[in-house]
Every structure is written in C-alpha cells, then in structure tokens.
Amino acid sequence: MPGPNAPLVKRLSAIVAGLAIAGFGLYALDRETATPVAPPPPVVEKPVARITKVLPKPEPVLGRTDIIAAVARAADAHAGGLPQPAADRSLVGRTFTLRVPFGCGGPMPEEAPGSKAKAQAIQRGWRYSEASGALQLIFGLDDWTEADWIAPLAGDTPHDQVEGFWLPRPWTSSETCPPAPPEQGEAEARPARAAVPAERTVGLAQFFATGAPRTLQRGGRPYSATVKRDAPPAPGSFFHLVVEGRIAAFADGQPIHCQSPSPDQRPSCVVATEFTTMAFEDNSTGEVLARWTK
C-alpha cells in the first residue's frame, strides 16, 4: 500500500531524471560545438653552423732538380758579389729525397788482404762473391771535418764533425748512371779524351754540433750491407743510395754557402742538410736492400 509521500517521491524522481537527461544533452551539445585544439607546431631544429678548417697543402718533397736549381741561384749570386737569394731561405725545413747512383762501372776490385790504403779510401760500389753468393754494397761518406775549405763555408755555424758527399754529375737532372761508353771499334776512331777530375760543385753536408745526436754520424764507417743473390748483377746494373732528409740552415739562416778560389772558376757550394734516412735500392727492381733511419 503506497505511503502518503509516494506522489512526492515520484515527482522528485521525474525531476531528477529530467535533469540528468538535460545535462547529458548539454554535454553532448558542448562536445559537438567545441573548437578543436590545433596540435602544436613541429619543432624545427636550426642547422648548426659548422666551421670547416682549411688545412694548408703540404709542400712537395724536394728532389735533385730543385736542389741543383737552388745551388745555381746561390752560385750566381756569389759569382756576382750579390747577397744570397732570399728565396733560398724558404727551403729551410723542407724535406728532400735524392737517389745517388753508384756501382756504375761494374764490380769493385777485390781488396788485397791487409791493404790499409784501400781500407782508408772512400769506397762506393759493389762486389759479388761466386763462392758464397753474397752481394756486398758499400757507400762511404766524405769526412770534411778537417778540410781546409769547410771552415770558410761553415762560417759561424757550430760544428765538431762534418759528413757529406758531392752530388755526381750536377749538370744533369738524371739520377741514373751515365750512358755506356761506345764500342771498341767506334772508340778507336775517336781521339782520346784527357782525364778530367770530377766536378765538385754541389755538396750536401750535415754539420754535427757538440752534443748533437749521433744517430746517423758514421765516423768514417761506410754504409755497408750484404745480401744473398743466386747470380751476380747483370751487366749495366747499378744501385741507388736513397738519401732522405731536411734542408738545414747555416748560422746566417741561409741553407747554401758557396766559395771559389778564383773568379774564373765555377763556385763550389754546400747545402746544409740533416740526413734522416739512408737506403740501398736495386735500380733494376726498385727493391730496398738495406735501410738506416735516424
């Protein structure tokens, strides 16, 4: 049996239901009419400025032609009584590679046992032993420490030892042996040529100051190596002394000094150097047979 408040409860229930329906409708209407929220713009990374450092190109390695040309400039200035070329100063510190041919005339004669004269002479060449199959290569440097002409060239450059060599055939850029002499029949038809001493006008020398490293100082000992070969070198074969190093400077900053005993004689010039590597190379194959490195 319904209570006395039943009509009131029914009214309240209807009111609540109506309010719920109205609220849901307003919510749905709000969802339909709401302005859509735009997504955030994409983050664009700014390009990072990169600084590219342009490294200077390394200077090319000097060769025989470059050294001969530099000495020619220095000799010309000396002969004309002019200051040494400023351009030659730029050579200081530059690296160089020279290939000095030796053994061009065939094998060296065998040493006589106990021959002190031959032992003391500067030896450059090769010899082959058929019995042992050993090929011996020898290249001695000149010791110019006590030479009377070295002190004027050195000037104020401190040194207590000087070693070096004269560049053979400095009038040519060729780093090979000279052409073979003509055949016997052709030679007989030609007049005999007088013996002319080798021209010594382009020298390379290392000046060792007191206390300087002695790694490549030879002290009179030649560079020498022995390798095994099944047969002697073929006729016309020769070898290279490959010299690598840097151009040094005398006390005045110049790399080349020249002198001449007479105005009518070509000046003799010496290039101050620092030898860093010496090697024996077979000209016919390019094979490195021995190497000495500072």
Q: Is 202 within 8 Å of 71 (Cβ atoms)?
A: yes
Residue 130 lies in a domain: no
Evaluate whether residue 155 is within a structural domain.
Answer: yes
Work out the widest C-alpha separation in the chain, in whole angstroms. 162
Predicted confidence at residue 212, as pLDDT, reads 74
User: For residue 212, is it within any domain?
Assistant: yes
Quote the CA–CA distance of 14 and 20 in Å, as a whole number.
10
Q: Please report the pLDDT score of residue 193 as a whole number.
A: 52
Q: What is the pLDDT of residue 201?
A: 93
CA distance 79 to 76: 5
Distance CA 216, CA 11 (A): 120
What does the alpha-carbon distance between residue 155 and residue 149 come to, in Å, rounded to a whole number? 11
Strand segments (E) across 67-201: 95-102, 124-129, 134-139, 142-143, 161-166
Q: How many domains does the chain have?
A: 1
- 266 part of a folded domain: yes
In this structure, are residues 271 and 256 in contact, taking their beta carbons and an 8 Å threshold?
yes
* Whole-number pLDDT of residue 290: 97
| Within-domain flag for 111 | no
Which tokens hold the place of 263? Answer: 């105005």
- Asked if 202 and 243 touch (Cβ cutoff 8 Å), the reply is no
pLDDT of residue 68: 97
User: C-alpha angle 151/153/158, rounded to 5°?
Assistant: 60
In a domain, 226, yes or no: no
Q: What is the pLDDT along the chain (294 residues), one digit of tens a residue?
A: 455 555 655 665 666 555 555 555 545 545 555 555 667 777 766 666 677 676 777 889 999 999 999 999 999 999 999 999 888 999 999 999 999 999 998 999 876 555 554 445 679 999 999 999 999 999 999 999 999 999 999 989 988 899 999 999 999 999 999 987 766 555 455 555 555 567 799 999 999 988 777 676 787 889 999 999 999 999 889 999 999 999 999 999 999 999 998 888 999 999 999 999 999 999 989 999 999 998
The two beta strands, 268-282 and 202-208, are parallel
Structural domain including 251 reads 64-106+142-173+197-218+237-293
Strand-pairing partners, residue 102, are: 239
Angle at the Cα of 44 from the Cα atoms of 42 and 47, rounded to 5 degrees: 170
- Report which of 233, 227, 237 is spatially closest to residue 279, judged by C-alpha positions: 227
Tell me the C-alpha to C-alpha distance, in Å, between residue 104 and each of 113, 170, 180, 244, 291: 25, 16, 9, 21, 21
**C-alpha–C-alpha distance, residues 138 and 103, integer Å:** 9
Among candidate residues 210, 206, 96, 213, the one with its CA nearest the CA of residue 144: 206
